[in-house]
């Protein structure tokens, strides 16, 4: 779960850097790549938490 959280944080930092960089229209897809990484990270975080709740403890 820590790896997912670190990944979300790194994608968020990259997004903030790109938003501050004032990209031309040909490189705006980088912003959407970061946004997608953040969204998939949150999905992964929810998935792992749900899986851990359903897994019986030994």
What's the pLDDT tens digit per position in 1-57? 899 999 999 999 999 999 999 888 888 899 999 999 999 999 999 999 999 999 887
Residue closest to 12 by CA, chosen among 48, 49, 42, 44: 42
CA distances for 33 relative to 2, 4, 54, 55, angstroms? 21, 16, 31, 32
pLDDT 10s digits, 12-24: 999 999 999 988 8
Spans of all domains in the chain? 2-54
Please give the pLDDT value at position 10.
Answer: 98
């Amino acid at each position: 779960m820590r790896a997912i959280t670190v990944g979300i944080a790194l994608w968020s930092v990259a997004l903030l850097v790109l938003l501050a960089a004032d990209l031309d229209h040909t490189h705006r897809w980088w912003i959407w790549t970061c946004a997608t990484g953040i969204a998939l990270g949150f999905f992964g975080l929810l998935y792992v938490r749900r899986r851990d709740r359903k897994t019986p403890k030994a």
